[in-house]
Structure 1
Amino acid sequence: MSIIIETKDLWFRYPGIDTWALKGINLTINTGELIAIIGQNGGGKSTLAKNLNGLLKPTKGVVLVEGLDTKTTPSHEIVKRVGYVFQNPSHQIFESNVFQEVAYGPRNLGLSEEEVKDRVRWALSLVGLEGYEDHNPYDLDYGKMKLLTVASVLSMKPKVLVLDEPTTGQDHAGRHLLASLVKKLNREGFTIAIITHDMRFVAEVAPRTVLIADGQKILDGPTREVLYTVDVLKKAAIKPPQIVQLSLALREHGFSFSSLTLQEMLDEMRKLIKNP
């Protein structure tokens, strides 16, 4: 696998604030990866995400996107490669209807109107918003507004998609759609980074997880290993998914469970029943 994003000794401090938001982050993201970046609010995960696509520039250190230094490369060149979906839809939506919102990015890329329409149809179909083209974005419920922001970034077809708290405001159906969408996009070749404190969603979709706390990278590895490192998670004020908590409780009674999801738990229980 080739590296698509790399941070080298990344430090970041917001203007006028003495404390460091990020402290010496070294991270590589490979082409085609699907990773979760977790941590409590204020721990630095969203600041890291905004450094990955050039919205913020390192105070010290380097961020490379396909080898391009975000400090010296024009922002539009980075944005073409790394699409960022904001946590709050109102920070991203500004057009008067859904079609125009999703078409804005492709038009700025200088694509033909026919190609713009094709991309809008493709992006809206992926997120389940076909038929909403003429709706005012602010007439949509919060969950659909979040899906619209995903579509508006997808329509530019960046190589990397950064989703900041994608499950916020989503009901069960919306979360299921997002999980399926993230997996599908990853299979189709998109590199995806999910910024979230939704541990259930992490367990369901992300093969790799990075824990950021107090501006530092604390853990980085397979999601199962990270979510079962409960002592470290506790220090970072992160609760593992309920299935992980149940598995650990069962271990105390002699059962060697290591489930991440409900389906895995059911599968392990079936095996136990067949081979007690």
Structure 2
Amino acid sequence: MTDLVLQNVSFSYPDGTKALEDFTLTVKSGERVAIVGQNGAGKTTAVKLMNGLLKPASGTVQVGEWDTTKFTTAQVSRKVGHVFQNPDDQIFHNDVESEVRFGPKNMKFDSGRVDELTQWAMELCGISGFAEENPYNLPYSERKFVTIASVLAMDSDIIILDEPTAGQDKIGLLTLGRLLDVLEQKGKTVITITHDMEFVTDYFSRIVVMANRKLIADGQAEDIFYNQEVLKASMLKPPAVAQMAGMFHFPPGILSKQQLVAAILKHTGT
């Protein structure tokens, strides 16, 4: 069990820019958490602190029993895998299988375990058919799945996905949904940064809202997307379904298409 605890964390960049202020968050092992907010809210800084890419100026970041200030980024990455927003910032091999295989091989797993994790991650991400392809010959959406697979193959307890739906079509979104379900079954913790509110409501039970470098709300989707003060402070738009429900003046809490259809049928007496 690897819980993640950020306690009163603040961080500023070398030029003096404040990126995070008094940020406190606990993520229990096995949770799915979406972190949302406008650009500049502090989301990316928060997750870079979680996996040791950055060290807090004040406060503490605990990954399980580890204080991240006492371990290298490479050591922390064994517990917290981070899939960057732009796959081109992460890919450095000339074929897909070598890219995915690098992580578990570098972690000194035995050859059988490396093979197992590599094939599992590639199959889960739907890229087994591209094993011998140069990743840069693949479209952006497939390159995203190459980087996701390369992190999954490391078998980290915590997985961070930065804007995973960017550039994805319907098939890609379904693949992501299936992937999240498999990771949940394996007891993995998944944290995502995303601007895709439909993706959030479809797949995440807990939402953390950030604004002005601070956490301003933490709760379930219906608590977040029907809270006008939170939406105004974070400049977030609720999912399209919630917006439509508001146009009809339906009671708060509608977030799925099925709920919306049921409310319309009830309203019309059908």
TM-score class normalised by the smaller sequence: over 0.9
Deviation at 1:3, TM superposition (A): 6.5
Q: How does 1:1-276 map to 2 (within 5 A)?
A: 4-16=3-15, 18-251=16-249, 255-256=250-251, 258-270=253-265, 272=266
Stretch of structure 1 that moved more, 205-214 or 177-186: 177-186
1:206-225, Cα deviation, whole Å (9 max, x unpaired): 10000011100010111221
1:93-114, Cα deviation, whole Å (9 max, x unpaired): 0011000000000001112222
Q: Which letter does structure 2 place at the counterpart of 1:145?
A: R
Deviation at 1:24, TM superposition (A): 0.3
Deviation at 1:230, TM superposition (A): 2.7
Deviation at 1:75, TM superposition (A): 2.4
- Say what the alpha-carbon RMSD is for the aligned residues: 1.7
Aligned mates of 2:149, 2:106 — CA distance in 1 = 15
Aligned mates of 1:187, 1:260 — CA distance in 2 = 24
What is the TM-score when the length of structure 2 is the normalising length?
Answer: 0.95
Secondary structure, in 3 states, of the residue corresponding to 2:160? strand
1:227-272, Cα deviation, whole Å (9 max, x unpaired): 1113321232211111111122222xxx3252212233234445x2
Secondary structure, in 3 states, of the residue corresponding to 2:182? helix
Q: Which letter does structure 2 place at the counterpart of 1:50?
A: K
1:140-164, Cα deviation, whole Å (9 max, x unpaired): 1000000111100000110000000
Secondary structure, in 3 states, of the residue corresponding to 1:71? helix
Aligned mates of 1:109, 1:267 — CA distance in 2 = 51
Does the CA contact (< 8 Å) of 1:84 and 1:163 recur in 2?
Answer: yes
Q: Which letter does structure 2 place at the counterpart of 1:10?
A: V
Aligned mates of 2:2, 2:153 — CA distance in 1 = 24
1:108-148, Cα deviation, whole Å (9 max, x unpaired): 11122222111111001101111111000001100000011
Does the CA contact (< 8 Å) of 1:230 and 1:240 recur in 2?
Answer: no
Does the CA contact (< 8 Å) of 2:6 and 2:61 recur in 1?
Answer: yes
Does the CA contact (< 8 Å) of 2:9 and 2:22 recur in 1?
Answer: yes
Deviation at 1:60, TM superposition (A): 1.1
Does the CA contact (< 8 Å) of 1:40 and 1:236 recur in 2?
Answer: yes
Aligned mates of 1:219, 1:144 — CA distance in 2 = 33
Deviation at 1:175, TM superposition (A): 1.6
Q: Which letter does structure 1 place at the counterpart of 2:97?
A: F
Secondary structure, in 3 states, of the residue corresponding to 2:3? strand
Aligned mates of 1:275, 1:184 — CA distance in 2 = 40
Q: Which letter does structure 2 place at the counterpart of 1:224?
A: E
Q: Which letter does structure 1 place at the counterpart of 2:112?
A: E
Stretch of structure 1 that moved more, 241-250 or 202-211: 241-250
Aligned mates of 1:185, 1:171 — CA distance in 2 = 21
Moved over 6 A (4+): 273-276
Does the CA contact (< 8 Å) of 1:10 and 1:58 recur in 2?
Answer: yes
What is the TM-score when the length of structure 1 is the normalising length?
Answer: 0.93
Q: Which letter does structure 1 place at the counterpart of 2:25?
A: L
Does the CA contact (< 8 Å) of 1:250 and 1:256 recur in 2?
Answer: no
Secondary structure, in 3 states, of the residue corresponding to 1:131? helix
Going from structure 1 to structure 2, the CA distance change for 1:215 and 1:55 (only over 3 Å counts) comes to: same
Deviation at 1:179, TM superposition (A): 2.0
Secondary structure, in 3 states, of the residue corresponding to 2:192? strand
Q: How much identity, in percent, do the aligned residues show?
A: 38
